[in-house]
Structure 1
Amino acid sequence: MTIMTVPPAAANPSGNTNPGRYAGVDTHRDTHHVAVVDELGRTVADRQFVATNTGYRQIVDFLHDHGPVLAVGVEGTGSYGAELARILAAAGVTVIEVMRANRQHRRLKGKSDPLDAEQAALTVAAGRATVVPKQRDGLVESLRILLAERTSATKARTAVLNQIHALLITAPGDVRTDFHRYHGQKLMDVLARTRPGPGDDPDQLARASLKRLAGRHRVLTEEITVLDDQLAQIAARLNPALLATHGVGPVVAATLLATVGDNPDRIATQAQFAGLCGVAPIPASSGRTHRHRLSRGGNRQANHALHRIVLIRMRFREPRTMAYFARRRAEGLADRDIIRCLKRHIANEVFALLTHPPADPLPGPLLRRQRQALGIRLTDAARTLEVPYQRLRRLEPGTRTDPDLVHRCQHWLEETDQQRLKTA
């Protein structure tokens, strides 16, 4: 019997001497370290670059020299790696967001810039990192910048307001008596108009300090108003349907838009968006116990925005929200659990508006033209439809959407038009 020895198959039968490779980048403030690995996880090359525009171009050339690179894992795409991620995406490179190396790997292998870059590349090659980072080159990035400024201004104004109230509590008796009957914005206006006298006694210094704090409060309020106007203008350009949704204002709309970034298509499903916003319950079952626990992760600003939508709809007794509350209360759920469920439903609604905004214009302006053509005043229309005047006033310019009210208005205007044609 003849025994034939079959030679082992070639590692690369296609003959391609330079198959697809993966890269990882460990980002820092001044330097970025890049490592390239092959399809088997072996390090091909690594090099350190300065974190400047020249260094970013050198990184692109470095990747092309050791390519084709299928994907690049970048640490810190929201901080030190933000500009690098923008440049790599513009160069046609697939960028994947990579978290820091796990503690077990660092304990066994150690930590250094080359090791962290290599680990980032291996994470992408193994398919453990699949998150596409947010693009930061459009109007949504402008919203993020404005939101960050508004957050700091809001916190500063709150600190000023707390300091004013604390000073009024401990101020001399005459100061407390003079301003005790004022509250809110009226208190700020009165304090700003005061004219403290000269002197360094506690009474006069307290009055002078309160006047300066009130002036600081006014400046911060004016700054927040300007920021809100800018947020509203940009949000209306990006997604007018989202801004017109009941319970969504400029800040909430900007927060939700900034959550998904300039590339909302990177979020494929409603479940992914719910997990991103921290409203997707996490399984916590074991054995015969089947339950879910509340998610404490996700983007907390987006979670807070969804919570505000629920509260506003509850406050103004939005019909769908109140019907859902009544049905779930009848099932024995507590209000807090119902709010959690509503946040998930609203997340699904918001996800549809973010990823597939309606191309059709909002019906509000069309209703206003029909009403004006019939010579009907807005107050008369609100009285006939038995709805609050403000609700109808916000519907017509497109700042709010209400499908039920739109249907009622269209039906009523058509009937009115037909009746006038018959009597003419």
Structure 2
Amino acid sequence: MAKQHPKVIAGIDTHADTHHVAVISETGQHLADREFLAVGSGYRKIVEFIIGFGPVVAVGVEGTGSYGAELSRVLSREGIQVLEVMRPNRQGRRLKGKSDPLDAYQAAESALAGRGTATPKARDGAVESLRVLRSERSTAMRARVAVMNQIQSFLVSAPEPLRAKYRGLTRTAQMSALEKTRPAGTISEPLNATATALKRLATRYRALHQEIALIDAELDAIITTHAPLLRDLHGVGTDVASQLLVTVGDNPERICTEAQFAALVGVAPIPASSGKTIRHRLSRGGDRQANKAIHHVVLVRMMSDTRTRTYVARRRAEGKSTKEIMRCLKRYVARELYDQLLHPQPAPDAAALRALRKTKNITLQAAADDLRVWPTALSRLERGLTRDDHFHQRYESWLNDH
């Protein structure tokens, strides 16, 4: 009878150039540890090293979103369960010391005990593309703001003949006028030097503006393909949708319940009572960028959504403050978003409407008049530029009846 190998658990302390791997048994016995290069050949050697001790239960990896991202992908492709391990707290490090082997064994022991672990995001799908593009967009936005601030700073202290040219212009007109200038003269003169710097800054501003517009179009294309219904919710645009998808990741099954999603985006209410005061407040944990996105949705709905405005008026009549009302609204919004993220529906085929209308020789104006809508609204629906599933069904039924 073949001898069965005991099951093992591995822990990996990741760094930019090297990864330190430690292997322990199911009983916590230290078996071996070794350092590998953080390159493709090193990843293959790590897999061979781990499975050489027996069947692998799980691998605890520190930094699955940074230095350990590619290693996590390699392990997952080999069918090995990967757990994200949190860094040991400072008190524990002071008591036990710190080194790469100690951190690797600590990661393995955490994976064995199920302490301080989480299911890492799968960084190999469309959401990873969104994350990269959003990161690029964030730096471009900050750079554009910095350029605009510098232009305003130069204009404040510029000689009066230069300031007078652009006084009273809007930002767009100001950037366009500055970019069209043709400074001439000695660069050592403050007026000429300032005019030259302003032209270059305006050119940089336009380039950044075009870059941001291109990124927005790419984000919109990805969301339209992979999560079109998410933007059907009132107040959810491309920016909010992309951030929520980045927060959830390519494997939404790691968020098993609605309550877990609420905690992830920082809208889970927690008790904040004292004495005779009984109240709750929102958790300050979770992904703060996702929390910001939900806050934006709530603000939009409080201004333009009839259902939300009615709810706000009723809660104010009950004596609730604006902060308390927004806390409740954020929780409701999180519930809607969770349902859309976990149970998406395919987007209706808008192009089929135009093809059906043309086969029946119905003009766009005639259809718009009968349906009592603007022709432009109907055209945008047919081209997929707007989404209205209810009107889509109505329009399709009308076409089928004619």
Same fold (TM over 0.5): yes
Which residue of structure 1 aligns with residue 211 of structure 2?
Answer: 223
Equivalent in 263, 285, 299 of residue 297 of structure 1: 285
- Match of 1:377, SS? helix
AA in 1 matched with 2:245: L
2:52 is the alignment partner of 1:98: no
Q: Kindly indicate whether the alpha-carbon contact (under 8 Å) linking 1:259 and 1:299 is maintained by their aligned counterparts in 2.
A: yes
Which residue of structure 1 aligns with residue 70 of structure 2?
Answer: 83
Larger radius of gyration: 1
- Match of 2:60, SS? strand
CA drift of 1:344 comes to 2.2
How many pairs does the alignment contain?
A: 398
Which residue of structure 2 aligns with residue 187 of structure 1?
Answer: 174
Which residue of structure 2 aligns with residue 173 of structure 1?
Answer: 160
2:94 is the alignment partner of 1:107: yes
2:300 is the alignment partner of 1:309: no
C-alpha distance in 2, partners of 1:247/1:291? 28
Please give the residue correspondences for 1:226-305 in structure 2 after superposition, counting only pairs within 5 Å: 226-285=214-273, 290-305=278-293
CA drift of 1:128 comes to 1.4
Q: Deviations over 1:189-223 (max 9, x none)?
A: 11111222312322222222111111110000111
Which residue of structure 2 aligns with residue 330 of structure 1?
Answer: 317
Q: Deviations over 1:132-183 (max 9, x none)?
A: 1011112221111111111111110010011111111121222222111101
C-alpha distance in 2, partners of 1:246/1:187? 35
> What percent of counterpart residues are identical?
51
Q: Kindly indicate whether the alpha-carbon contact (under 8 Å) linking 1:313 and 1:321 is maintained by their aligned counterparts in 2.
A: yes
Q: Deviations over 1:324-378 (max 9, x none)?
A: 323322322233332332222222222222222113x338667777888664539
- Match of 2:102, SS? helix
C-alpha distance in 2, partners of 1:292/1:143? 34
2:107 is the alignment partner of 1:120: yes
CA drift of 1:129 comes to 3.5
C-alpha distance in 2, partners of 1:247/1:335? 19
| Distance change in 2, residues 1:126/1:274 (3 Å) | same
Please give the residue correspondences for 1:23-102 in structure 2 after superposition, counting only pairs within 5 Å: 23-102=10-89
CA drift of 1:287 comes to 7.3
C-alpha distance in 1, partners of 2:284/2:375? 40
CA drift of 1:118 comes to 0.9
- Match of 1:47, SS? strand
Q: Deviations over 1:272-316 (max 9, x none)?
A: 11211112123345677644333222112212222222333344x
- Match of 2:256, SS? coil
Which residue of structure 2 aligns with residue 161 of structure 1?
Answer: 148
- Match of 1:66, SS? coil
- Match of 2:151, SS? helix
Q: Kindly indicate whether the alpha-carbon contact (under 8 Å) linking 2:110 and 2:117 is maintained by their aligned counterparts in 1.
A: no
Which residue of structure 1 aligns with residue 330 of structure 2?
Answer: 343
C-alpha distance in 2, partners of 1:415/1:400? 19
Equivalent in 123, 128, 140 of residue 141 of structure 1: 128
Q: Kindly indicate whether the alpha-carbon contact (under 8 Å) linking 2:36 and 2:46 is maintained by their aligned counterparts in 1.
A: yes
Q: Kindly indicate whether the alpha-carbon contact (under 8 Å) linking 2:9 and 2:26 is maintained by their aligned counterparts in 1.
A: yes
Which stretch has the larger CA shift, 344-353 or 66-75?
344-353
| Distance change in 2, residues 1:51/1:107 (3 Å) | same
C-alpha distance in 1, partners of 2:264/2:282? 13
Q: Kindly indicate whether the alpha-carbon contact (under 8 Å) linking 1:246 and 1:401 is maintained by their aligned counterparts in 2.
A: no
Q: Kindly indicate whether the alpha-carbon contact (under 8 Å) linking 2:281 and 2:327 is maintained by their aligned counterparts in 1.
A: no
